Structure 1
Amino acid sequence: MKNQINFWQEFAKQTNGTFKEGYSWRSDSNTIEYKNWKIIFDNYTLWSGKYSTQMTRVVAPITFTDNFKFEIYREGFIRKIEKLFGAQDVEIGYPEFDKAFTIKSNNEFKIKTLLRNKEIRNLLESQKEVNIQISDQEGIWEKKLPEGEYELSYYMDGEVDNMEILKSVLKVFKLILDDLYQMKSIV
């Protein structure tokens, strides 16, 4: 029988990350140390009654020095309906990007500053699916984090096993963390 390669183990090797074997209902994961932060990749089963769906998620615990929050996601049918009914949307002044994504934030100046970074915009545009946000929930869908603790969070439908997509998400995380740090929003 052929040995099956563990995807998260291989991803850890390619990104100098630390592979952690899952247990019980937790999936295997890969944690990448980047400057003062940890960027964690894993899979998560999202339950809704009797039904479940697999998600790939990426989180980086962060400590804010201000209250800056944002959410960026690709336009979809449901999101278009939200816009029709008045969901708040920040336009950043790049028409193609503004058309493709819904951007919500409590600080228009800071989100425009963050998305002025062409490399961040290009990497987000290259992704088929984008759901990135500052979350006060552990792992996006788990328990609420203690007061003042947040995560930069990203999730995609299904178990993504494409190294190039995940490396691109890793690059987005590094760029966003660097820019948030330079804006003095995080320590």
Structure 2
Amino acid sequence: MAVLESIFGKRQKPIWEEFAEQKNGVLKSESGDLFVEYKYLDFILKIKNYNYTVVGSSYSESYMIGMAEFFHPTQLVLEITKEDWCTGIVKVFKNKGMKIGNSEFDKRFYITSNKELKARTVLNDKSLLEKIISFDPTRIEITNTGKFFGEIPSKGKYILYCAKKEEFKDLKQLNEIHLVLVSFIENLKENCEIK
């Protein structure tokens, strides 16, 4: 752990340790990135600090990410991204996305899904929407393909991840990610029968 302290600074490690203790989890490191794994209901949640560096350059970005893996019988795929100029182009030429009927949420986020009715049911939860709006993520996704922030879903499973492009700051930030993940999991368990 001495290497981690030299990389991340002595002030960050105790914050991660406190969060791990609060959640009865385990603090780990992977390629220099810290994360905490812990159990919620029957799911393993992971919250991590992920540093993405473009190969062959000095450009890098930091993300705070929460994720959970599960069996998903309804096979809902959902993408929620911040509304920006890229999504504006996609709307014009490819996919207008969907609206859920919450004006603040619809204005701030671009939403796509393979099952719009089921996605609307999931996103009809006012408490969940408030948590998402408050956290202001860069991206939330439910998927069973690809490699996201160093994670590949296990065979036959889906992964929910909530990512925000920002530097690690404090315990409040970790708890905000936790609240979004927990709200999503509870909602998906009720409306999509995830296991």
Give the TM-score category using the shorter length: 0.7 to 0.9
Q: 2:134: which partner in 1?
A: 126
What aligned pairs does 1:49-88 form with structure 2 within 5 A after superposition?
A: 49-51=55-57, 52-88=60-96
Q: Which runs of 4+ in 1 moved over 3 A?
A: 2-5, 141-147
Residue type at the aligned position of 1:10: E
Residue aligned with 2:29, SS: coil
Specify every segment of 5 or more residues in structure 1 that has no aligned partner in the other structure, as ranges.
none
Superimposed CA distance per residue, residues 77-125 of structure 1 (whole angstroms, 9 cap, x where no aligned partner)? 2222222223241111222211111111111111111111101111111
Residue type at the aligned position of 1:36: D
Q: Does 1:43 align with 2:53?
A: no
Residue type at the aligned position of 1:74: K
Q: How many residues align?
A: 184
Q: Does 1:34 align with 2:40?
A: yes
Specify every segment of 5 or more residues in structure 2 that has no aligned partner in the other structure, as ranges.
1-8
User: Which range moved further: 138-147 or 148-157?
Assistant: 138-147
Q: Does 1:19 align with 2:21?
A: no
Q: TM-score, normalised by structure 1?
A: 0.86
Contact 2:50 2:149 in 1 (8 A): no
Greater helix share, structure number = 2
In the superposition, relative to structure 1, how do residues 3 and 88 fare at CA in structure 2: closer, same or farther (>3 Å)?
closer
Q: 1:117: which partner in 2?
A: 125
Q: 2:161: which partner in 1?
A: 153
Q: Does 1:104 align with 2:112?
A: yes
Task: Give the superposed CA RMSD.
Answer: 2.3
Q: TM-score, normalised by structure 2?
A: 0.82
**Identity score, percent:** 22
For residue 63 of structure 1, report the CA deviation from its aligned partner.
0.9
Residue aligned with 1:21, SS: strand
For residue 143 of structure 1, report the CA deviation from its aligned partner.
6.2
Residue type at the aligned position of 2:54: S
C-alpha distance in 1 between matches for 2:189 and 2:139 = 21
Q: 1:92: which partner in 2?
A: 100
Residue type at the aligned position of 2:103: P
For residue 68 of structure 1, report the CA deviation from its aligned partner.
0.8
